[in-house]
Amino acid sequence: MRVVWDKTSLHLVCAGANYARMIRLHNGDLLCGFSDRRGQWVKRSRDNGWTWDKGIVIAAKQEGGDFTNAELLRLQNGDLLCFSDFRPFQNHPQTPPLAFAIGVSRSKDDSATWSALELVFHGGARFADGCWEPAGLQLPSGEVQIFFADESPYTQSNEQQISLLRSFDNGRTWTKPQAVSFRAQQRDGMPVPVLLRNGDTALAIEDLGLSGTFKPSIVRTTPGDNWKSGAVGGDSPNRWGALQTPLAPHVYAGAPFLRVLSSGETVLSFQQAEDGDMQHSKMVVCFGDESAHNFANPTLPFEGFKTSAQLWNALFQKDKRTLTAITSTKIGDIFGVWTLDGKLVQE
């Protein structure tokens, strides 16, 4: 699989926003969730992403911190969930200090209204002990899962694991967290889960212990195991470097985002900086096989545009032949969430 990007399809979703994710609603409209003005917002498009309605606030800014990392999940029963990360200000005079937390909001009317955000997990109060970047998945059984980066078990070290919360009632109650990915003395971060065609769950993560600085790795479990065998370690056969051609150790390649195409093949994006400086990142898109191996054929969707760093990227398949790249960057004089469409070509 490869993609040919259409430079005339560039669109601004929201000025000033960042960290955007996109889904399709039951009626065919698109919904984009993002962080803006210290809160979580969504916008709807009724014309397949060419124009966007006025934003709806899901989680407003809170005294003492920000809500960020909006992630959207459409459930089998028709409800929508939006996952959020609460990040307390480190200099706020709160006693006791506010803690990092993972939150969930629900819409039962295709995003017209949203429930008050419920905090379902609390990390530590220090930046070094936080929890980050929740992302959700629903299994065919109906089980709903939230994966997130979690520093809270490692208050005496700089390690970080991927933790999992489970719900068996469509997100109304949640289990205690369990570790599903952990490389000792390193940092696993920014999980994005997908269901592969064979039923396995694959997580794209940024892996600090693969080669030099952050690189994309894939972590896997089978339907029969469903993470019950414990955290996938650095040497496990259920963890592998995502890229067919490894990057040099000094190259930064973080914040991966994984999707399964309608063909069954997989597509991965990440932010890459050749000099190792995240603030020089460009969005890269690669294609892998049905088992999420051998990602290759890299392209740069926003190449040719004068941009700032292209960060916190995502992908969305609009239809059988159209892939949408989503980035947070400055183009011209406008910083915000931008999208670009490409045509998928099967070779």
Q: Which residue has the tokens 């065609």?
A: 197
Token pair for 216:
């994309």
Token pair for 326:
């989503």
How many angstroms separate the first and last alpha carbons of the chain? 6
> At 123, is the pLDDT very low, low, confident or very high (cuts 50, 70, 90)?
very high
**Model confidence at 268: pLDDT above 80:** yes
Q: How far apart are CA 179 and CA 150, in angstroms?
A: 9
When the pLDDT of each residue in the chain is averaged and rounded to a whole number, the result is: 96
Backbone angles phi, psi at 127, to 5 degrees: -55, -35
Average pLDDT over residues 96-110: 94
**Model confidence at 92: pLDDT above 80:** no
Q: Identify which has the larger pLDDT, 63 or 170.
A: 170
Q: How far apart are CA 127 and CA 56, in angstroms?
A: 29
DSSP state letter for 243: B
Q: How far apart are CA 158 and CA 146, in angstroms?
A: 23
**Model confidence at 205: pLDDT above 90:** yes
Q: How far apart are CA 175 and CA 166, in angstroms?
A: 5
Token pair for 139:
């299994």
Q: Delineate the domains of the chain, giving CATH numbers in brackets.
A: 2-345 (2.120.10.10)
Q: How far apart are CA 50 and CA 339, in angstroms?
A: 10
Cis peptide before 93 (omega within 30 of 0): no
Sequence letter at residue 219: V
Q: How far apart are CA 341 and CA 209, in angstroms?
A: 33
> At 95, is the pLDDT very low, low, confident or very high (cuts 50, 70, 90)?
low
Q: Give yes or no for a contact between 215 and 207, defined as CB atoms under 8 angstroms apart.
A: yes
Query: Which DSSP string do the residues of 154-210 spell out, in sequence order?
Result: -TTSS-BEEEEEEESSTTSS-PPPEEEE--TTSBEEEEEEEE-TTS-EEEEEEETTS
In the chain, the percentage of residues whose pLDDT exceeds 70 is 100
**Model confidence at 66: pLDDT above 80:** yes
CA angle 33, 346, 267 (to 5 degrees): 35
**Three-state DSSP state, 233:** coil
